[in-house]
């Protein structure tokens, strides 16, 4: 069975890379490997400074999607990323690991691969879970990004720690 590399893992990789940016090509390779997203392909290629730069550019564009002021702007920015980083879907069975979809050509750099995964994964996330399911943490003083994968679609904090800290702050404000 082939898992979909364009699903939630790709969105979580984007969150991971904007929260803790990779500073070297080796660190980018390690983070891709840890995420499990197309890790075989990353292992087969040497990640370069150009790949790191390409991923940083894609993440800057992705943050504009996160910070879009309204749904239409978010959609327009997302569509621009898809136009830039993806190609028509194609069936592939490279390395004999089973037929599956790719939204990129077979031989791409790691930077382009990560940009394609992030843009396609985010588009599928927004279309499948809801266009508002990306955001910035609602806790005062925190601007970390989150991707809402919750069942209810009500996530507003980047972490349970920020949610708890904000709840305590609100409680203390009511009781003092």
Residue 136 lies in a domain: no
pTM here is: 0.88
Structurally, the chain folds into a number of domains equal to 1
Residue 85 lies in a domain: yes
Q: Any idea which of 7-11, 77-81, 114-118, 163-167 has the lowest mean pLDDT?
A: 7-11
Average pLDDT over residues 104-117: 88
CA neighbours closer than 13 Å in the CB half-sphere of residue 18: 27
Residue 149 lies in a domain: no
Domain, as residue range, for 83: 8-131
Q: What percent of the chain has pLDDT over 90?
A: 71
The CA distance from 12 to 19, in Å, is: 10
Q: Locate 88 and state its tokens.
A: 């028509």
Residue 120 lies in a domain: yes
SS3 track for the chain? CCCCCCCHHHHHHHHHHHHCCCCCHHHHHHHHHHHCCCHHHHHHCCCCHHHHHHHHHHHHHHHHHHCCCCHHHHHHHHHHHHHHHCCCCEEECHHHCCCEEECCCCCCCHHHHHHHHHHHHHHHHHHHHCCCCEEECCCCCCCCEEECCCCCCCCCCCCHHHHHHHHHHHHHHHHC
Residue 86 lies in a domain: yes
Residue 17 lies in a domain: yes
CATH number, domain at 112?
Answer: 1.10.3300.10
Chain mean pLDDT for the chain: 90
Closest CA to 153 of 132, 167, 124: 132
Q: Which of 41-50, 76-85, 97-106 has the highest mean pLDDT?
A: 76-85
Residue 15 lies in a domain: yes
The CA distance from 137 to 23, in Å, is: 24
What's the confidence (pLDDT) of residue 1?
35
Residue 162 lies in a domain: no
pLDDT digits (tens, 9 = 90+) for 119-150: 999 999 999 999 999 999 999 999 999 999 99
What's the confidence (pLDDT) of residue 103?
82
């Amino acid at each position: 069975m082939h898992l979909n590399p364009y699903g939630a893992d790709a969105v979580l990789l984007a969150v991971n890379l904007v929260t803790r940016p990779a500073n070297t090509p080796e660190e980018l390779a390690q983070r891709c490997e840890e995420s499990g997203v197309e890790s075989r392909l990353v292992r087969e290629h040497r990640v370069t400074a150009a790949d790191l730069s390409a991923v940083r550019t894609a993440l800057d564009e992705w943050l504009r999607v996160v910070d879009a002021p309204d749904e239409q702007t978010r959609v327009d920015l997302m569509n621009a990323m898809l136009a830039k980083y993806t190609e028509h879907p194609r069936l592939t069975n490279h390395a004999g690991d089973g037929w599956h979809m790719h939204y990129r050509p077979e031989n791409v750099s790691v930077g382009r691969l990560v940009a394609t995964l992030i843009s396609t994964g985010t588009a599928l996330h927004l279309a499948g879970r809801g266009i508002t399911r990306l955001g910035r943490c609602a806790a005062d003083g925190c601007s970390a990004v989150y991707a809402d994968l919750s069942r209810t679609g009500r996530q507003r904090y980047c972490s349970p720690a920020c949610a708890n800290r904000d709840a305590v702050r609100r409680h203390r404000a009511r009781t003092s």
